């Protein structure tokens, strides 16, 4: 079984990776490590930088991710600055920005950067489309989970426990990563 070290302390992210990758033959270990989160125009750039940093420090192959919430009515804001905006405005602030706005379309973009020691990172990306709710709801997850309703669902992500919530997201990037790792050594 191939192995990947996921650099995160977020249990939900680890659970997602294990639930999706391990049945595909990729064992997921993890390590909690602070990495610089650069300010960049795309989540791909942020993930690549963090993965390269972690790989060089740990001297092994790693997986690092970054996500962004892109709200159509706000011209893609907060985008790759999601973490900062969450700290400063939070979900309530974003809901205020969208007060009386009819266009609530949004998407989450998640970029996974896989980096082998001494090499450049490779990025796999998933996009989960949905909309921003009129008000917060749910008790599971954190932050944007309480206001984001994925396409095909009628409740926010915060209404689904971890084991369900991690499978609601578009998992394309995980599957592409697994395929890449499986084919890499063949």
| Residue tagged active-site, from 29, 34, 41, 66 | 66
Q: Which candidate, 96, 43, 36, 101, places its Cα nearest to that of 70?
A: 43
Average pLDDT estimate for 50-63: 95
Q: Is pLDDT above 70 for 63?
A: yes
CATH class of residue range 2-184: alpha beta
Q: How would you class 157 by CB atoms within 10 Å of its CB: exposed for 0-12, middle for 13-18, buried for 19 or more?
A: buried
Domain boundaries, the chain: 2-184
For the question of residue 154 being annotated catalytic, the response is no
Pairing of strands 26-31, 2-7: parallel
Q: What are the pLDDT digits (tens) for 155-175?
A: 999 998 877 777 677 788 888
- The pLDDT assigned to 57 comes to 96
Could you give the CA distance from residue 29 to residue 8 in angstroms, rounded to a whole number? Answer: 10
Pairing of strands 26-31, 122-132: unpaired
What ranges in the chain are assigned the alpha helix state H?
Answer: 11-21, 43-58, 82-88, 90-97, 162-168, 172-184
Q: Is the pTM of this model over 0.85?
A: yes
């Amino acid at each position: 079984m191939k192995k990947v070290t996921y650099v995160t302390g977020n249990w939900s992210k680890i659970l997602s990776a294990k639930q999706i990758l391990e049945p595909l033959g990729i064992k997921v270990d993890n390590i909690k490590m602070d990495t610089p989160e650069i300010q960049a125009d795309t989540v791909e750039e942020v993930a690549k930088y963090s993965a390269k940093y972690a790989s060089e420090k740990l001297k092994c192959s790693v997986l690092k991710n970054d996500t962004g919430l892109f709200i159509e009515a706000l011209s893609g804001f907060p985008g790759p600055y999601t973490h900062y905006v969450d700290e400063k405005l939070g979900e309530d602030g974003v809901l205020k920005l969208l007060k009386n706005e009819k266009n609530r379309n949004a998407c989450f973009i998640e970029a996974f950067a896989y980096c082998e020691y001494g090499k450049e990172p490779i990025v796999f990306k998933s996009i989960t489309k949905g909309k921003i709710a009129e008000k917060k709801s749910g008790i599971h997850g954190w932050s944007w989970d309480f206001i984001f309703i994925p396409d095909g669902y009628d409740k926010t992500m915060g209404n689904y426990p971890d084991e369900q919530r991690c499978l609601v997201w578009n998992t394309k990037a995980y599957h592409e990563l697994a395929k890449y790792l499986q084919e890499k050594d063949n």
